Amino acid sequence: MSRLWGGRFASAQDPHFLSFQNSLGFDRRLWREDIAGSAAWARALEGAGVLSKGEREKLERALDELGRELARDAHAFDGAPDEDVHSFVERKLGERVGDLAKKLHTGRSRNDQVATDLKLWLKGALYRLDANCTELMAALVALAERSVDVALPGYTHLQRAQPISAAHHALAYVEMLARDRERLADACDRLDACPLGSGALAGTAWPIDRAKLADDLGFTRGPTRNSLDAVADRDHAIEAVFAATLVCTHLSRLAEDWIFFATQEAGFLELSEDVSTGSSLMPQKKNPDALELVRGKCGRVLGHLVGLVTTLKGLPLAYDKDLQEDKEALFDALDTAAACLAVTALAVRGARWRAERCAAAAASSYQNSTDLADLLVAAGVPFRSAHERAGAAVRRALELGCELEALPAAERARLVPELAALDLARELSTARVLARRAVVGGTAPSAVRAELKRWNKELALHAAQAPVTTPR
């Protein structure tokens, strides 16, 4: 077929090269944005006196018909000879309106066209990723509500450290996802300027009202302010993939925690069968494959981020064909992040804490030793001295094979005589250890319930404010 750029060439390109450089196989997903941008450009050309009202109306009707046809036919692109989605849309438009389709590209380059399409697509994709984050947050909050009173060992250096509430653990990931949502919103806000009208690199020569065009396409920051930057900029793609990488990093950490919690060695958590698999050889196995895949796919998204930054770092202004590499990386990174969020939400909704096993583990391994030191401090002992004496008590308990609260009376009288009047079994119980940490952000059930109340309010507010449809 005739190429959009073929007039200067006397001979055809090598078919292997054409296959190598064609992008329709992946940029076809931009067809909605390409049609929306073309309709807006037709309106802008009418305003500039390039198109008559009748021509503009005819083009818009044809574009609308094409959009409805593509929405109905999932195989419309199969076998198409076009090199990219822009060529495809223009050819299909020409089949409907003839030579009038050729007027639509007046003053427009595929450089500003693809930059606009990509930004329009990315706004919707980031909105959908935000919705995926919110869905997982809601699942974690619901799990936390069921597990406020489940005591769990907290870890540092993967060694038991202090007891925490299982709900507190779940809400830690809600906090991470909330920051992820802020990053997604921030990235969406920063990209929200319209490149259309920048031409190939120097701006269009036609009197296009770019502010009106930007508003027509729903760009809240108006038109981009430098045509070179507008067509060469892929900050928004990199920033979106960076945000997706952090989402996946947080999911990977959750997956790692839960994979360990679900081992027979820990036995704290039971994963539902709908996110687990078995072994082709060992009949007894129940493998946490969903979470392992989430953990593994984080590396894939991170790889896309590194690839995008590497592609951009050495490019001169303005547009270079290297930038075609942005789409596959961007599309796959955001698709993968969305899939990981959805699968993690499934795992969270089906998970069940083994409360008795958790409680037994939380009450062992001297996780209450800091509280012993704090009790000594309350009795007037300086903390450093209290810390040393609590350590000595742990050492003696290890020698005797008992927990701190079970030290014989004679040992307690020798090691911590200031606490003789206290019921150490009660004061060092997991319930008391948890209850003491009632500060904002602490693991006490009272503090966790306050956070749950706050998060339920936040999520309800988000649901009430969420738009019915995604942005254009």
Mean pLDDT computed over every residue of the chain: 95
The Cα–Cα gap between 303 and 312 comes to 14
Provide the pLDDT for residue 1.
Answer: 46
- List pLDDT tens digits, range 77-129: 999 999 999 999 999 999 999 999 999 999 999 999 999 999 999 999 999 99
The pLDDT assigned to 463 comes to: 85
Confidence of residue 9 (pLDDT cuts 50, 70, 90): low
Lowest-pLDDT choice from 12-26, 283-297, 303-317, 337-351: 12-26
Q: Taking 60 as the threshold, does the pLDDT of residue 468 lie above it? A: no
Q: Which CATH number fits domain 111-354: 1.10.260.40, 3.40.50.300, 1.10.540.10, 1.20.200.10?
A: 1.20.200.10
- The pLDDT of residue 470: 45
User: How far is Cα 372 from Cα 395, in angstroms, rounded to an integer?
Assistant: 13
pLDDT at 2 exceeding the cut of 60: no
Q: Please give the pLDDT value at position 471.
A: 42
Bridging pattern class, strands 151-156 and 352-353: unpaired
Nearest of 226, 152, 140, 215 to residue 180 by alpha carbon? 140
Residues of the chain with CATH 1.10.40.30: 361-451
Task: Report the alpha-carbon distance of residue 396 to residue 419 in Å, rounded.
Answer: 17
Tell me the pLDDT tens digit for each residue of 131-151. 999 999 999 999 999 999 999
pLDDT of residue 8: 63
Could you give the residue range(s) of every CATH 1.20.200.10 domain in the chain? 111-354
Mean pLDDT of 295-312: 97
Q: How many CB atoms lie within 10 A of CB 332?
A: 17
**What SS3 class is residue 437?**
coil
Listed in order, the ranges of the chain carrying CATH 1.10.275.10 are 21-106
Confidence of residue 13 (pLDDT cuts 50, 70, 90): confident
Q: How confident is the model at residue 469 (pLDDT cuts 50, 70, 90)?
A: very low
Instruction: Using DSSP, state whether 15 is helix, strand or coil.
Output: helix
Q: What is the pLDDT of residue 140?
A: 98
Greater model confidence, 267 or 3: 267
Which pLDDT score, from 0 to 100, does residue 467 have?
Answer: 55
Element (H, E) at 26: helix 24-27
How much is the pLDDT for 15? Answer: 79
Cα–Cα dist 13/278, whole Å:
52
Q: How far apart are CA 215 and CA 35, in angstroms?
A: 16
CA pair distance 4, 173, nearest whole angstrom? 50
% of the chain beyond a pLDDT of 70: 96
Is the CATH number 1.10.540.10 carried by domain 21-106? no
Tokens 């931009």 belong to: 30
pTM: 0.93
* Nearest residue to 180 via CA among 113, 123, 132, 212: 132
Task: Give Dmax over CA atoms of the chain in angstroms.
Answer: 101
Catalytic positions are 157, 279
- Whole-angstrom Cα distance, residue 263 to residue 174? 23
Q: Helix or strand or coil: residue 49?
A: coil
User: What residues does 132 pair with on adjacent strands?
Assistant: none
Q: Cβ(109)–Cβ(315) under 8 Å? A: no
Q: Which CATH architecture has domain 361-451?
A: Orthogonal Bundle (1.10)
In whole angstroms, what is the distance from residue 81 CA to residue 58 CA? 25
